[in-house]
Amino acid sequence: MISCIVPVYNNEKTITRVIKTLLSCQDIDEIIVIDDCSEDNSVQKIKAFGSKIKTVFNNRNLGKGGAVVKGIKITKGNTILMCDADLSKIKKHHITNLINEYKCGRYNMVIAARESDKGLGAFMAIISGERIFEKKLIKPYLKLITESGNGIEQIINFAHRNKKVKIIISKNIGHVLKAQRGNLEKILLSYTQETAQLLKTDLMIKKINLNRLKKTFLKG
């Protein structure tokens, strides 16, 4: 059973298309949309789908990691499909390609990078929000994910460090940048916070690895 989680924050321009696309995919058994205190019309757009989807409306902003974990805790499926809410040109085949690659059984996680995620932008490929994986592999890391904010993908990657992971390319999927939403002051604050969260998560992972090495050394 595949449970799809969609974290939303000020995505009124794209959320309707994203949900409609996900609903068209027969392989998805449930769609859980978590609005993380949006300040635009995202809530109204989400509510328009009624009982076709499961919805969670946070009373306070938890950040992307906290929103996704809240969704994971109410999922019925053993497989988690994550999908960002800011995809402007998403189509059914973008999702089915991702699911089919995972269902072949050769990989523990499949990540769908965007076509532009290459060269110097290759780092963005490994932290893409479109991915599918088994829920049990990230259960031990839910607390870290909650605290990571936009570092969620880094934690999920860490949880799969000894597993088989494949990155595929989603062409022409479209993406509404933060710079295209809100006023300049909020945009700058958002990018600053996101960068800080990514750096904090990187340090957190290095600390975990260091502690593992210390334990191994002491045992030896």
The secondary structure of the chain, three-state, reads CEEEEEEECCCCCCHHHHHHHHHCCCCCCEEEEEECCCCCCHHHHHHCCHHHCEEEECCCCCHHHHHHHHHHCCCCCCEEEECCCCCCCCCHHHHHHHHHHHHCCCCCEEEEEECCCCHHHHHHHHCCCCEEEEHHHCHHHHHHHHHHHHHHHHHHHHHCCCCCEEEEEECCCCCCCHHHCCCHHHHHHHHHHHHHHHHHHHHHHHHHHHHHHHHHHHHC
- pTM, full prediction: 0.83
CATH H-level superfamily of 2-177: Spore Coat Polysaccharide Biosynthesis Protein SpsA; Chain A (3.90.550.10)
pLDDT of residue 127: 83
User: pLDDT tens per residue, the chain (220 residues)?
Assistant: 999 999 999 999 999 999 999 999 999 999 999 999 999 999 999 999 999 999 999 999 999 999 999 999 999 999 999 999 999 999 999 999 999 999 999 999 999 998 765 554 555 778 899 999 999 999 999 998 998 878 899 899 999 999 999 999 998 898 776 555 666 566 666 657 767 776 777 777 776 765 554 454 444 4
Tokens of 181: 């939403």
- Where along the chain do its domains lie? 2-177
